[in-house]
Structures are given as C-alpha cells and as structure tokens.
Structure 1
C-alpha cells in the first residue's frame, strides 16, 4: 500500500538566518532592512523625529555591551581579512598562523567573527589556548559568528563595532580583503595620522596584494599633496605571518595568559 506521508514534499528550503543584535531573524523576517539602513537612509518621512531618539538608546546599549564585555580583555590585536578566503587558501593559513602566534604571546585575537581569514585567525588563537573574540555585524547575507569564536558580540551599527576594534586593540594586522577590510584599514590609518590613537602598529600582510595600493598612495595621493610622504611610514608590509605578528606586538605587552576573560 503506498504511503500517504507527504511531509518531505513540502519541506521548505532553509532560509539563511540573520542576526540583529541579540535577535535571530529567519524567513521573511530576515528581509527587513538593517538597523544601519534605518538610521542612515534619508528617505524616511518626518516620523524620524519620533524614532531617532529611541535609536540613541539602542546605540548606547551596543556601546555598553561592548565596553562591559571587553573592558578586562587585556592586550589584544585585531586581524582583518576577506570573509571569502577559502579554508585551503594561503590567506586562511596565514591568518591561522598569526592567530596562534599572537595567542602564544598572551594576546587576545579580535576579528569580525565571520568566515574566511577571520575564522582562520580565531582558529589559530583557540589552537594556542588563547582568547578568540568575534565582533559580528548585521548584514543582508551572513553566516553568523564562526565556530572558533569563544567571546562574541553581535552589533547592529558599524560605528559602534569599529570603536571596539580600535579601543581594545594594540595593533591591526590586515590580510587581503575587500571593501570592509579597506574601510577598517583606512579608519585605523586616519586615527593614527590624526593622533587619535598613538603607538598603534598597522601591518599589511601580502606585498603582491597591498603593494599596488601603497604605490598609488605614494605616486598619486602623496604626489598631489593630499597626504604627507611620511604618512606612509604609518604602515608596515610583509609576506611573513611570523613577522606580521611580531610587528603588531612591537608596541604592546602581552599578558602572558591569553586564556579568557576574568570570571565575575
């Protein structure tokens, strides 16, 4: 007798989940605009005068959550790079090596918490029994925090997230990446150039990838007087992940443990 069980015929294709702060959105709810878009989009009506003040409280809560979670993290280095780096790629391997070396020296490793190079760095930190931090962000298509993050925070707003990267890091290591990586790189360069942060090493990993950018900055931007030639001294470049980690730690002081946040 044929079975009347038709459950498998109507199983929906799983929709990717999206996080909005501590909230998980799936299916149709995952298509709602991001919080940053609500805040920055100029096409809202006059109702913004009623909603923006409440957003201030939400933004405040993200800063409070970040400060409260990371305030006792200890020395840390942020590692940036493409979410599209495959696990069998050189960039992933370099990120993993960097994460391991930093953790062995007592530094926490902070990434954007996503896949690719970020996952590699988090994995390397965990392999050395170090603290692996992921600062996630609400995006239209995301996979959530990678499995190697052991201290994770999800943000709605880019500017709150970027504040945490700079405030709790002693340096940046930047592997090949796209717009997001470039945004983080130039934000750090601007803060160092304007002396908003001091003694903050910025290390580029990959001469073939970053060399043309530095050539353009030197030959075009500096040549036009838009930056000083000495501004290019704010960044170091290398192909060696060991040297990258050492350069990032040059102005810092590892805490000798890197094994997690103090218990309350």
Structure 2
C-alpha cells in the first residue's frame, strides 16, 4: 500500500510539474511573438514544412474521408431520409468535424513527431545549451516559428481538406448512390451556415497550436540519448492526439451545446 501511494504521489507531482513547465513555455512563446517579423524567414520555413509538405497526405486522406461519409450517410438514409439531403449530411460532417479533426491527427503524426525528434536530438546533443551560451533564446529561434506555422497553416490545410472531402463525397454520390451532382450540391448549399465554417477553422487554429506546443515541449524535455528521443517522439504524437480530441469536444460543447 505504501509503495502504491508513493508511486501515485510521484505521478501526481510529475503531472503538476509538467503542467507548470508547459504553461511557462506557452508564456515564453507569447512573449516571443513580436520577434516574428525579425525571424520571418524561420516562420516561412516552418510554414512550408508543416503546411505545403503535408498537403499531399492531407488531400489523399480527405478524398476517402468524404467518400466514406457519403457512403455511410446514404446507407443510413435508406427508407428514412430523402437522398437530396445527402450533400447536407456530408457537408456538415466534413466542415464541422471530420475536416479539422482528421487533418489535425494526420499533421500530428507527421509534424508533431518530426518536431519532437528534431528538438529532442538538439537537446541531447547540447545544441540548445549552445544557443543559450550564445545569449540566444531557444524559444524565439526554435519554438515560436513552429507555433506560428501551426497556428496559420492548419486552418489552410483544413480548407483544402474540406474542399477535397466534399468533392470525394460528390463523386461517390454521383457514381454509386445515383443522385445528380445538382441534387448533392443543392443539398449542400441549402443548409450551409457560416458558423459551421467558423467552428471548423477555430478548431483548426487550436489544433495547430496544440501540435506545435506539445511537439516542442516534448523535444525540450528529452533526456537519455537516442532512446529518449524515441520516447519523446511517441509521447508527442500520443499526447497531441489526445488533446486534439479533448479540445474538439470542448469547442463543440461551447459552440453547439
């Protein structure tokens, strides 16, 4: 019993220590944002890495996301709901939920892991300590550009994802469900609300911030050489994915609950 309580207490202390360190990192990021103009080349470089280089994977995923949404909705509608509402169902599901969430999970797997591995390697090889020795702020050089890139590029990726997913749903609806493109698009347009797009993009902004912050944080606390880098990479992806899903619920509850 005593051993259990000791382990439990250590877990609790580690949790609060990690939460405090993460809060301090967020504070440092916010304070370093005014330097973004001076470090704009670093920001643009990270935007290309996080956004442009992730686009093919996001598009590939989105095509099948929209296709599956259309097939599943058509199956559920049989005998109950007219198929003219198929476009409505696909559009709502993609714009509000599937587009931002699946895009964030894909980017978390690709970018979050890469960020944690890169910064973790820099930490264990003492490159971050070298920056501090030269009186250079590691947050300004390494974290802030990645944070801004995630904040800006994930909504842009989400817009591409929404568009491609709806096209995928349209193609499946026309080829396999046997409704016309006019019927699908008319259903999509009839119930489209700007609030839905706003909610999806707000989610994307928050998800992008989570991916960048968690990836950088895990990289900064890496210890133990190559094994530690691997552990930090895994933790970055898992923790980012969990926080994305938790924050997705919280945002949905605030906006639509």
Asked if Structure 1 and Structure 2 have the same fold, meaning a TM-score greater than 0.5 normalized by the shorter chain, the answer is: no
**Comparing both structures, which one devotes a greater share of its residues to helix?**
2
TM-score normalised by L of structure 2: 0.31
Q: Relative contact order, CA 8 A, sep 6+: which one is greater?
A: 2
TM-score normalised by L of structure 1: 0.31
**Comparing both structures, which one devotes a greater share of its residues to strand?**
1
